[in-house]
Structure 1
Amino acid sequence: MALRLGDLSLDLTAPTASGESRFHDWPGGNRGVIFSHPADFAPVAPLTDE
């Protein structure tokens, strides 16, 4: 599902310690941002313990 600027996102819900949280309620009337990365995301430099 592709979203473009100005599109209405799905109203996601999640259980929290204080009850169910709805994504559309989270920004409180302001704009919210969804950030995601592709499933095959690979960092530019691997993290090694050398």
Structure 2
Amino acid sequence: HWHGFFQHNHNRMDGSAYVTQCPIAPGNSFLYFFSAGHQVGTFWYHS
């Protein structure tokens, strides 16, 4: 779940299993890849 990033029309990587994305199975991983554009500030994420 991200804090600080403006993700207009792009919440599929917000981390809510079965709501915005499929859960990550045990032993697997998920790579987040997106452009922050011209955003500046403090950003963080947590699960």
TM-score, L = length of structure 1 = 0.21
Which structure shows the higher strand fraction? Answer: 1
Larger radius of gyration: 1
More relative contact order, 1 or 2 (CA 8 Å, 6+ apart):
2
